[in-house]
Structure 1
Amino acid sequence: MTVDQHLTEFAGLPVRQFEASGAGGLPDAASVAWRVAFDGTTRWHDALLALLDSVDAERITALVVGWWGHDGEDRYPADVLVEVADRLPGLRALFFADVVVEENEISWIQHSDITPLLAAFPQLERFEVRGGDGLTLEPLASTSLRALRFESGGLPGEIVQAVVASDLPNLAHLDFWFGEENYNYGREFRVEDLAPLLSGERFPALRHLGLEDSELQDEIAAAVAGAPVVAQLESLSLAMGTLTDEGAEALLSGQPLTHLKRLDLHHHFLTDEMMRRVRDALPGTEVDLDEQQERDEDWLFVAVSE
């Protein structure tokens, strides 16, 4: 599977593509999540500046950074956003790199250090980023951030380490797509990197945790099975990865999960019998077991990689 559809909704708002040509009327700046992308003619940073000049930029609350071209064709959008941060005082939600497969493979999206970007917008409540090549992040501190999401075909271990070392007392929603080791460019993620997070000591407000799209899904499930953080969660996702009966057995043998409102395991390699056991064990929980995959001998695959 690849990511082949642009966002149509973000942060509870419909996504509106900004047309730098000026065609058509523009809605109220706060009524949509503005998507800015390279359209083949207007460079990304020029389109962003045009948007800021065309609407009441101080009222923009949500922004979606679309494709900015291949590496070297334009400036890195994070650098541009840092420079204009004072023009976006109302920004509360940012999706960075709404890039689909026809524009670039998820593992080929070229990033850099996003620490200055998050520092420039300390009022951000939601930050989501797609792609991991070149992505770096230092531990951060924020009392505003409530949702954090990393979508990657191969997430560098340093990103996980930086997040779990961060001071985010109000973080309620956290998602990682780990992807394949082939696409983390030598910056390997290890299940041990999750230890501070799973201990329950880092993020007291956390209510949703997604540890997804991993080749190590059974190992992650085993670690989660006894993790103190689970007791504070309302929803848990171990979806999109290579979960087998071994990992599901670990979950069922671990701490009770009946307090969860939702358990997402879609895209998995469970047998029919194990699927039945999971459902029977959690009668009051919404359990997503869609996308059962056929196991081809020992070859297992994640939902999103290259």
Structure 2
Amino acid sequence: MTVNAHLEEYAGLPVAIFDCETEDGAELPSAAGHAWRVLTMFDEAPFDEVFARFLEAVDTEQITALLIGYWGASYDQETGDPVALLTAAADRFPNLRSLFLGDIVMEESEVSWIEHTDITPLFAAFPGLERFDVRGSQDMRLDPVKSGRLKTLRFESGGLPGEIVRAVAASDLPNLEHLDLWLGTENYGGDATVADLAPFLSGERLPTLRHLGLENSELQDEIAAAVAGAPVVARLESLSLAMGVLTDAGAEALLSGQPLTHLRRLDLHHHFLTDAMMERVRAALPGVEVDLDDQNKADGDWRFIEVSE
């Protein structure tokens, strides 16, 4: 599976588009009532030019949700630096609460080809952020950050580097409620280990966490075993170990560990469980919404995560 559709809604708002084809003077929807996606296209106007026109055309002081789409690439004629552009224009977005860096689909760039820089400055430039999503991880850098406002943090990746995972784990995010990490495959830089996840599983640094997603991993069975005894699970409302190579061994570890009946939702979609194990999971969690869609069969010893390249 690849990411093949742009978001039509973000942070509870419909998405409006401002791109390289938006004409000067065009009638635009209300700034406050929409989440705005700003992007260019392959071999078209440079992203910095599109972003500059966006700043002039839209009352950005009213914007609460912003999505940054395709900004170019090293293999394109033009490439932009959205982090630099955003931080330089931070005073133009005093009410920004939700930011998605990289709402980019397969036709624009495969997820593991999306080229990043250091995303750390965004957290200082936008201290009011309550939600931050990022797609792709090539060349991404991140130092530990501090935010008392951030509630949702999501990394979508075909291979999330261990240094990024460790930076998130070392961050000071006392009000974070929702964390998703698409850990990916080592073939695309996903070298995080189960040990790197220990700070999340202990729950000590994330006292308000209610959703934990450790997903899209080649280590899904090992992660499931670690989650089975993790202190953080007792206070979660939802847990996702989806999109990876979960087998009966990982599911057995979950069922043999601490109770999961308090969960509202358990997402295990895209898995390699047998029919018998799927029935055991459902039977063990009668009051839990369990997603076991997308059952796959291994080809010998080969199994695949949902999103890689």
Q: What TM-score, normalized by structure 2, do the two folds share?
A: 0.96
Structure 1 residue 305 displacement after superposition: 0.2
The answer to whether 1:33 aligns with 2:38 is: no
Question: 2:194 aligns to what?
Answer: 191
- 1 CA distance for matches of 2:67 and 2:2? 19
2:54 to 47, 51, 56: 51
- 1 CA distance for matches of 2:84 and 2:44? 21
Question: 1:14 aligns to what?
Answer: 14
- Alignment root-mean-square deviation, CA: 1.2
Give the AA of the match of 1:133.
Answer: Q
Q: Is the 8 A contact 2:25 2:57 kept in 1?
A: no
Q: Is the 8 A contact 2:61 2:95 kept in 1?
A: yes
Question: 1:270 aligns to what?
Answer: 273
- 1 CA distance for matches of 2:15 and 2:8? 5
- Structure 1's unaligned 5+ residue stretches are none
Give the AA of the match of 1:15.
Answer: V
The answer to whether 1:289 aligns with 2:292 is: yes
- 2 CA distance for matches of 1:167 and 1:223? 23
- Structure 2's unaligned 5+ residue stretches are none
Match of 1:277, SS? Answer: helix
- 2 CA distance for matches of 1:23 and 1:69? 25
Match of 2:102, SS? Answer: strand
Question: 1:154 aligns to what?
Answer: 159
Structure 1 residue 23 displacement after superposition: 6.7
- 2 CA distance for matches of 1:31 and 1:102? 28
Give per-residue Cα distances to partners, 1:94-137, cap 9 Å, x unaligned: 00011111111111111111001221111100000000111111
- 2 CA distance for matches of 1:252 and 1:45? 51
Give per-residue Cα distances to partners, 1:217-271, cap 9 Å, x unaligned: 0000000000000011000000000000000000000000000000000000000
2:216 to 206, 213, 232: 213
Give the AA of the match of 1:111.
Answer: H
- 2 CA distance for matches of 1:287 and 1:273? 15
- 2 CA distance for matches of 1:279 and 1:156? 33
Question: 1:96 aligns to what?
Answer: 101
Q: For 1:87-236, what aligned pairs fall within 5 Å after superposition?
A: 87-184=92-189, 188-236=191-239
Match of 1:80, SS? Answer: helix
Q: Is the 8 A contact 2:118 2:140 kept in 1?
A: yes
- 2 CA distance for matches of 1:179 and 1:23? 43
The answer to whether 1:67 aligns with 2:70 is: yes
- 1 CA distance for matches of 2:122 and 2:214? 24
Identity %: 64
Give the AA of the match of 2:7.
Answer: L
Give per-residue Cα distances to partners, 1:19-47, cap 9 Å, x unaligned: 43147421211111100011353321222
Match of 1:275, SS? Answer: helix
- 2 CA distance for matches of 1:263 and 1:24? 45
- 1 CA distance for matches of 2:194 and 2:165? 10
Give the AA of the match of 2:34.
Answer: V
Give per-residue Cα distances to partners, 1:263-297, cap 9 Å, x unaligned: 00000000000000000000000000000001211
- 1 CA distance for matches of 2:194 and 2:25? 49
- 1 CA distance for matches of 2:80 and 2:26? 27
Give the AA of the match of 1:297.
Answer: G
Q: What TM-score, normalized by structure 1, do the two folds share?
A: 0.97
